[in-house]
Structure 1
């Protein structure tokens, strides 16, 4: 029997699709398109496009943004869309701070097996960032061939968490493809949000960060520091799978010492993770539950596997939204702790615009760790960038509350987003939207 929630959702979808009632143009669902691209044998990747919905401008006058979710295994078409930046929230009510008012937004469920994307053979799951990027090149190639109206529109990649690591690799491959004449699009930059570019720098900063805000005592700091040093040793020896397991163990120690502080926002707490008898599998399960299953909340899962799949009409009956997400995460375990600082260096050297933004209250990718890897960049202009004075930002001209700080030089920019955790658009929607407009050169 259909639940009241399911019936209500289906009714709202129908009404919004028709633009019924007294909804304004910017409250109605914008023009959309979606579909699958077989990026490799036994794989299909799902994408969902929202055309920009702005009463003053046609979509061709606004940029196109590709949004990449984290995990790996988190669904952009689900979480990013309905929980963060899409036109409707998970209750299918219009989102006031949707990015669709400032750009067309392309959500993609990647790596393959994420969200509505799927594999037909377990050997087809991506195991490294190189495969993730090459898969996306196939999808983007098909997208720009079929949607020729977007070939000249300014194109940006925005990302969150592990999505930032994927975004960096994809941005570099995209730049090379355009230079070689293999891709026709107007690529203008990449934005790395609370990004897993240097996992080790995050882990090494957890102890000092938590201690400085009174979430660890001396004994707790000692325990977290000792655990982090084990991660450092494994990374230095390039034992990346071991480093992933030790990273999980470090999180367990933090969880115990802080009484369950949330890794996504230090002002909140999370319930303890489940226990599993097998020691190695315990760490993978804990990691999955903290960093991927978190993106598959029951209400969102009911929405995606119910009314949304009915609306889309292209999802195979054998595919459950999020059904392969744990497999996605496990297959990427060897790649998880590998750093990607060199990729950012290559982007800067290629004169690609790079924006870094981070939530002040994030723990998993705390700002201290982000600043640490930025200091390791080999970019010749880094010293001058670092010496610049940051500038305060306000959400609007009438506001007197500082919402963020930022600095920029040439093709590098950094935004410190205040009062935001790991999911910046969730906590600070107005500031996130302002940042989007600044990055895409719609305002200064």
Structure 2
């Protein structure tokens, strides 16, 4: 009897074990087949009469990435007109706001039609990235990426989700624009797309007022400000001391400390170098003495002044824009400080190798433009890293090309040097937001590079 009970018990145990194993195998198989993303299209009241798609790409266990797409209104086949993907970085203003409503999208912050919008010629795609910025949000703060490479994983999934919804655009020429720190995100995404199995028609990467080698660019800041009369020799010495300290921290891999030095530039220049209320993002503008906590390089103040809008932009996005798009319970850009904290350990790492990789290993073209009134990404400092890129075509192609003028309506709006796959544009009368400050020059750059 005991033996019989033992046999029955053993059989039951084996059956349970096999059942459990079956469940485990089923879980592994189904999890392996689980799609890496899903798309939640937004259905709100809408904004104006221009077609658009607004959506969240939901990445399991990570979070959701917001994107906003406008098909071009140019005459002809829209699938043949390039897509411009616009990215900003962790110290900037989200693309859904600044690039779209602030600079060149079809509508401004008052929802009024912008007659010179880039959709007149191009398809526009804005992605709020990294998660935690704009309308994009992580499941938990642990899911916020810490490097441009980690962020590229999220961007690549988001881009694939866009093509899933808009299959007709898979062969459309793609140009990735990265402003300020967004340039690092753009380069990482371009490299990932090139190395991936899914091929896209990526034609070019455009780096605007790019934060690529920030410590190196700082070495020219004292010279830049002294030549323009904002500081004297003592102020230049003070800034160059700060620059040397920052460079040493980068070399010692103390990147978080280097980041703290870098983002203190505005306060340091105005309190320790003899300048007075200079906005380093656009040096012809003056800042007030009011506290600007969390406003790195005066960008939010710059936005308010540029748009002549005293209403807080977070309120606009959380109320009017969110309602129009159909976003419930929005917390626009509420995770910005967490994103900055996450990227502190990688922000100051030079990204010049990524530029070299694209030039040396791909057929992707690279264009760089810089506003001459941006002191943070000052043009002398930008040229320092650009002219020292390691690329076979550097000496006999780019550096040997003559510098020519950008002339629009008989006015010189800047200059350019045009190599086969590398172009550099000096833009006059423009700060950190060059498309807003000098749209005539940017239109000329677009005509030369994006086609």
Give the TM-score category using the shorter length.
Answer: 0.7 to 0.9
Contact 2:178 2:208 in 1 (8 A): yes
Give the distance between the partners of 2:169 and 2:152, measured in 1 at CA.
Answer: 20
Aligned to 2:107: 88
Give the distance between the partners of 1:273 and 1:35, measured in 2 at CA.
Answer: 37
Aligned to 1:427: 437
Give the distance between the partners of 1:294 and 1:133, measured in 2 at CA.
Answer: 28
Give the distance between the partners of 1:39 and 1:357, measured in 2 at CA.
Answer: 33
Contact 1:45 1:118 in 2 (8 A): yes
Change (3 A) 1:267 1:291: closer
Give the distance between the partners of 1:323 and 1:121, measured in 2 at CA.
Answer: 13
Contact 2:216 2:247 in 1 (8 A): no
1:135 to 119, 141, 154: 154
Gaps of 5+ in 2: 1-43, 305-309
Structure 1 residue 30 corresponds to structure 2 residue 50: yes
Aligned to 2:21: none
Counterpart secondary structure, 2:220:
helix
Counterpart secondary structure, 1:394:
strand
Give the distance between the partners of 1:39 and 1:393, measured in 2 at CA.
Answer: 43
Change (3 A) 1:40 1:246: farther
Q: How many residues align?
A: 399
Counterpart secondary structure, 1:66:
strand
Change (3 A) 1:92 1:316: closer
Aligned to 2:383: 371
1:124 to 131, 138, 143: 143
> Which has the greater radius of gyration?
2
Structure 1 residue 207 corresponds to structure 2 residue 188: no
TM-score (norm 1): 0.85
1:258 to 268, 272, 275: 275
Cα shift readout 1:217-271 (whole Å, capped 9, x = no counterpart): 1111111111111001101111111111122344322122211211111111223
Give the distance between the partners of 2:252 and 2:333, measured in 1 at CA.
Answer: 34
Contact 2:45 2:323 in 1 (8 A): no
Structure 1 residue 151 corresponds to structure 2 residue 166: no
CA RMSD after TM alignment: 2.1
Structure 1 residue 114 corresponds to structure 2 residue 133: yes
Q: Identify which range, 342-351 or 432-441, moves more after superposition.
A: 432-441
Quote how far apart the aligned CAs of 1:147 are.
Answer: 1.0
Counterpart secondary structure, 2:59:
coil
Quote how far apart the aligned CAs of 1:413 are.
Answer: 0.8
Give the distance between the partners of 1:109 and 1:286, measured in 2 at CA.
Answer: 19
1:353 to 348, 365, 369: 365
Counterpart secondary structure, 1:175:
helix
Q: Identify which range, 321-330 or 204-213, moves more after superposition.
A: 321-330
Counterpart secondary structure, 1:387:
coil
Cα shift readout 1:153-183 (whole Å, capped 9, x = no counterpart): 1111112101111111111111112xx3x24
Structure 1 residue 270 corresponds to structure 2 residue 283: no
The within-5 A match list for 1:382-401 is: 382-384=394-396, 385-395=398-408, 399-401=409-411
Cα shift readout 1:53-110 (whole Å, capped 9, x = no counterpart): 12x3332231111000233463101111111111111222222331111101000000
Cα shift readout 1:109-129 (whole Å, capped 9, x = no counterpart): 000011000113111111111
Give the distance between the partners of 2:402 and 2:359, measured in 1 at CA.
Answer: 21
Give the distance between the partners of 2:194 and 2:290, measured in 1 at CA.
Answer: 41
Aligned to 1:191: 206
Aligned to 2:28: none
Aligned to 1:282: none
Aligned to 1:49: 69
Structure 1 residue 335 corresponds to structure 2 residue 355: no
Cα shift readout 1:187-225 (whole Å, capped 9, x = no counterpart): 111100001111112211111100111011111111111
Give the distance between the partners of 1:143 and 1:228, measured in 2 at CA.
Answer: 42
Structure 1 residue 105 corresponds to structure 2 residue 118: no
Contact 1:190 1:355 in 2 (8 A): yes
1:244 to 242, 250, 259: 259
Aligned to 2:448: 438
Quote how far apart the aligned CAs of 1:273 are.
Answer: 6.3
Quote how far apart the aligned CAs of 1:293 are.
Answer: 7.9
Change (3 A) 1:267 1:242: same
TM-score (norm 2): 0.84
Contact 2:183 2:208 in 1 (8 A): yes
Quote how far apart the aligned CAs of 1:294 are.
Answer: 6.0
Gaps of 5+ in 1: 1-12, 18-28, 276-284
Quote how far apart the aligned CAs of 1:302 are.
Answer: 2.5
Cα shift readout 1:320-350 (whole Å, capped 9, x = no counterpart): 1111112111211111111100000001012
Cα shift readout 1:341-394 (whole Å, capped 9, x = no counterpart): 000000101231111111111111111111011122101111121132111122
